[in-house]
Structure 1
C-alpha cells in the first residue's frame, strides 16, 4: 500500500463501516496515505455497515 500510495496522482479511498471498528481501520488507512503523501477519501455507508446499505 505504501508503494502504491507513493505514486503520483494516487488517491486512497477507504470504504469502512460506520462503527468503532470501521473508524479504527479507516484511521490506519489514513495514516498510511499520509505517510505515503497521497490524497485520502473516506466513504461511509448510510447504515451502520455496508451490507445493510
Structure 2
C-alpha cells in the first residue's frame, strides 16, 4: 500500500511537483509516463 498526500517538491525556487496525492492499493500497478524532463524521476526519488 502506498499513500501520498499533498507532495510538493522544489529545486531551489522552482516548484516542480505541486500537491500530488495518490493511493495505491496492495496488488495495484501504477505506470508513470511522460516526456523527458517532466518529473518522473523526481517523483520516484521523492517517494
**TM-score, normalization by structure 1:** 0.28
Structure in which a larger fraction of residues adopt strand:
2
**TM-score, normalization by structure 2:** 0.30
Structure in which a larger fraction of residues adopt helix:
1
